[in-house]
Amino acid sequence: MLSDAPKHYPVLLDEIISIITPQHGGTFIDCTFGQGGYTEKILSFKNTQVIALDRDIESKKKAEKFQKKFGQRFIFKNKRFSQLNDLKLKDVNVRGVIFDLGFSYLQIKDTKKGLSFNSEGELNMKMGLNTFSAKDVINKLSKKELELIFKFFGEEREAKKISSKIDIERNKKQIDTKTLAKLIDGVKSRKSFKIHSATKTFQALRIFVNKEISELINGLISAAKILDKGGILLVVTFNSLEDKIVKYFFKSLSENKSVSRYMPKEDKEKILFKLLKRKPIIPTEKETTINPPSRSAKLRYVIKKDNFYEFKTDILKKFDFLIQIENLGNKL
């Protein structure tokens, strides 16, 4: 039995397994391997294979244990999930692709990554295969650019005040993780007992540093292409921005979207997905009690209706403004 201390809980595991039905065998892709919770459960069924991806090189340690236990049934790639097309899966029948957009306990507690506002030391937030860090963002981007990042990636109401305070303080001394968290707490006029004052700003920085908007969009497009007929695409999100992107992608390419019955048949786009549930699946009260971080999780899934590779989607256009903000990182 593969185990970790402290315990890592794969979110909505039972629900995901019931949807993808690995007991029937087949190949599955775990796009966010992490501590291997989904992968281990899938491989507990005979005649299954998992191809796992993770941008965090630290996940390779766990992957090596899996390779010893499961042999050729398990393949690991240190890649971002936007690189799904690089897998070249010509003769592989992919029955399911899973994205869990959360982070493991070990990643949150890794002080070198600095994902938590409780961390100390230099600002980082790099999840792997990055080109810049949170330190670069805080010290090199303009006050206005920081405001855009905090406002749209963190949905932070006081983005302008926070970016202005950062601009003042960074001219006095270097801002590290602890200093930034304290600075934000001092600026925020509206404080909550439920979440730390710095939560939204740290979320925004993490999204920006890891280019999570374009990663998610390109990952979804690639996953939809490599799935075979009847294959299932599942995504677990943890914030409203991620969920908005996934919801739009699924709905806009599904048979449940609004299409005029008066539109000529030849003008209707070929439907890519079958969307069985409009509303997301959320964790049970029992799961949130055992694993409190799961309380913000939302699971959405679709089934691919037919075997075709090329399809039209306007998702890049739909979220172009967010991608433009993300591209501010190109100057770092």
Digit-coded pLDDT (tens) for 119-157: 777 899 999 999 999 999 999 999 999 999 999 999 999
* Percent of the chain whose predicted confidence (pLDDT) is above 70: 88
248, 176: one domain? no
| 272-301: average pLDDT | 95
Residues spanned by the domain of 189: 113-210
Q: Are residues 32 and 59 in the same domain?
A: yes
| 316 found inside a domain | no
CATH code for the domain of 288: 3.40.50.150
Is there a single domain that holds both residue 276 and residue 236? yes
Contacts 24+ apart (CB under 8 A), 196-201: 196/117, 198/117, 199/117, 200/150, 200/154, 200/155, 200/156, 201/150, 201/154, 201/156, 201/159, 201/162
* pLDDT more than 90, % of the chain: 78
Banded pLDDT at 5 (limits 50, 70, 90): very low
- 38 and 79 share a domain? yes
- The encoded tokens of residue 58 equal 């630290």
Same domain, 178 and 249: no
Residue 262 within a domain: yes
Within this chain, do residues 293 and 218 fall inside the same structural domain, yes or no?
Answer: yes
Which of 188, 210, 232 represents a domain boundary (last residue)? 210
164 falls within a domain: yes
Residues 259 and 299 in one domain: yes
Instruction: Please report whether residue 70 resides in a domain.
Output: yes
Q: Are the C-beta atoms of 80 and 55 separated by less than 8 Å? A: yes
Same domain, 154 and 201: yes
Tokens standing for residue 316: 């890049």
